[in-house]
Amino acid sequence: MDMLWNGWGDPAKAAPLPDSVTGLLRDLLGVKPRSTPALGLEDIRLPAPTVGPAALKALAAAVGGEEHVRTDTESRIRHTRGKSTPDLLRIREGDVADVPQAVVLPAGHGQVLAVLRACAAHGLAVVPFGGGTSVVGGLAPQRSAFVALDLRRMNGLLDLDPVSRTAVLQPGLRAPEAEALLAGHGFTLGHFPQSFEWATIGGFAAARSSGQASAGYGRFDEMVLGLTLATPEGTIETGRAPRSAAGPDLRQLILGSEGAFGVITSVTVRIRPLPETRLYEGWRFGSFEEGATALRRLAQDGPRPTVLRLSDETETLVGLAQPDAIGAGSAPGDAGCLAITGYEGTAEDTAHRRERAAAVLTDCGGTPAGAEPGERWAHGRYSAPYLRDALLDVGAFAETLETAAFWSRVPDLYTAVRTALTDTLTQAGTPPLVMCHISHVYENGASLYFTVVSAQGEDPVAHWTPAKHAANEAVLAAGGTISHHHGVGTDHRDWYVREAGPLGVSALRAVKRRLDPEGLLNPGVLLPTD
């Protein structure tokens, strides 16, 4: 199944907002219904592909036949940009300025290399395409003549070593299918980001993804033991051993490279036995500061739950900590901040960690809220993007952004980003609702994930841009990183350049020139074009 062309995920899972929420948006934020009907896929008009017959023939030869090179309107539209709110607003208005000339579907590493050679010969840029879930402009290159390299045919489990507990996965394998294949052997990857239902293994590596169970299983880049990269200049293979002192780790150069250095064609990951027990529960704290202190205690001194999250007062009040509960109303005593803790593993280990964590949470002022909040979060953990689409449908603007910092900087970072978003959008005449949660914790710091809801304004994308820029400036000024797990793309690129510094960017440019001398791979993504 393909994802909804003008929204998120499975169209059958889309649901309208409750009337109570629609009324609240109108009364609180001044949200007005759309004045024009939404366009259908059949209403979108594309210019004919400019790629010539010789190039199409070369691409078909590279991937084993014309049936694996698509130039039809629907295929091209479905591979236009990603799933950020600006991406969706633009496609809903019929803006297809970033449409690929063709969609090419290779079946293996050799075919990817052949596609890259064909594109180099015919001056076509290449955008690797996995699940299409980018929310930072990672699929919108600064080149009009490009092809989308859809990796869906490369969707296998190539090898599983139960002794070493490793697996070799192809990049086009979607996360649910990867989990199903591993579960057949008694293992799990343990990587469950909000994009889980649609994102791919290659995308996880290319964007340094982080899953909702990162407190227990780690980030995806921590799971990666080896990578194979296809570039216009040949192949790079990394990961001979679990750890090595043989020079700089080239895996770290490939992880997070977002298709700018090459196309990831296989990923070797460490795997874990399927957990015997999964348990999720809620805790209440009087303030975000109090809850953050509790999370820091667990992250630094243990025991660390598998899932550990904390919503601020606004997110808790609205109910976004449990997306399926939106519009259900608040129960008595729901003030303050909701934390979600989850435990996965053997029954004995789960019970032991839960008991010890409860003592720490209680000592930090937490009050147990029972299993219901945790189970509701687990049930709705992939629902938020559908909720975003429903907000767009009724004329609201809804977008997310995230960052991370060391623990000592988290409070100021939280305040700075909230203030930047609130002040910018209020001055523009659309006062927002700004919510936040700590989504990932480490011994030395944590990530902050913000959700912003407001009226759309006359031109929603132009209206949002100053607020996004103000938030980015606030992130850097407060000592945060420009992205914890969404990646760089084009949306964060100019701030990433500042974060990396001139010499660092020059070093990365040198790598790109060596691996991609014609600048064909995802031009303008991650690094500015020359």
Please give the full DSSP string across 219-253, using - where no structure is assigned: -HHHHEEEEEEEETTEEEEE-SSSS--SSS-HHHH
**Dihedral angle sign, alpha carbons of residues 10, 99, 82, 398:** negative
Structure tokens at 260: 């700018």
Instruction: State how far the Cα of 262 lies from the Cα of 128, in Å rounded to an integer.
Output: 9
Q: What residues does each domain of the chain span?
A: 11-150, 277-379
Q: Are 486 and 401 in contact (CB under 8 A)?
A: yes
- C-alpha 13: how far from its chain's center? 20
Pairing of strands 263-270, 224-231: antiparallel
- Each residue of 278-312: b (16+ CB within 10 Å) or e? ebbbbbbbeebeebbebbbebbeeebbbbbbbbbb
Fold of 11-150: 3.30.43
Place of tokens 């500015």: 528
Residue 317, phi-psi category: left (phi > 0), alpha (psi -120 to 50), beta (remainder): alpha
Question: Can 11-150 and 277-379 be said to share one CATH topology?
Answer: no
pLDDT (tens place) for every residue of the chain, 530 residues total: 789 999 999 988 888 888 888 998 999 999 988 777 889 999 999 999 999 999 999 999 999 999 999 999 999 999 999 999 999 999 999 999 999 999 999 999 999 999 999 999 999 999 999 999 999 999 999 988 999 999 999 999 999 999 999 999 999 999 999 999 999 999 999 999 999 999 999 999 999 999 999 999 999 999 999 999 999 999 999 999 999 999 999 999 999 999 999 999 999 999 999 999 999 999 999 999 999 999 999 999 999 999 999 999 999 999 877 666 655 544 445 679 999 999 999 999 999 999 999 999 999 999 999 999 999 999 999 999 999 999 999 999 999 999 999 999 999 999 999 999 999 999 999 999 999 999 999 999 999 999 999 999 889 999 999 999 999 999 999 999 999 999 999 999 999 999 999 999 999 999 999 999 999 999 999 999 97
- Each residue of 114-148: b (16+ CB within 10 Å) or e? bbbebbbebebbbbbbbbbbbbbbbbbbbbebbbb
Q: Are 387 and 297 in contact (CB under 8 A)?
A: no
pLDDT of residue 329: 45
Q: What is the gyration radius of the CA atoms in the chain, in angstroms?
A: 23
Per-residue HEC secondary structure of 455-478 comes to ECCCCHHHHHHHHHHHHHHHHHHC
pLDDT of residue 8: 96
Instruction: State how far the Cα of 112 lies from the Cα of 115, in Å rounded to an integer.
Output: 5
pLDDT of residue 252: 96
Q: Enter the pTM of the model.
A: 0.96
Instruction: State how far the Cα of 141 lies from the Cα of 157, in Å rounded to an integer.
Output: 30
Per-residue HEC secondary structure of 65-128 comes to CHHHEECCHHHHHHCCCCCCHHHHHHHHCCCCCCCCCEEECCCCHHHHHHHHHHHHHHCCEEEE
DSSP 11: G
Fold of 277-379: Alpha-Beta Plaits (3.30.70)
Helix axes 460-477 and 493-500, enclosed angle (nearest 10): 10
pLDDT of residue 171: 98
Residue partners of 383: CB distance under 8 A and separation at least 6? 323, 324
Instruction: State how far the Cα of 34 lies from the Cα of 39, in Å rounded to an integer.
Output: 12
pLDDT of residue 479: 98
Structure tokens at 233: 């200049």
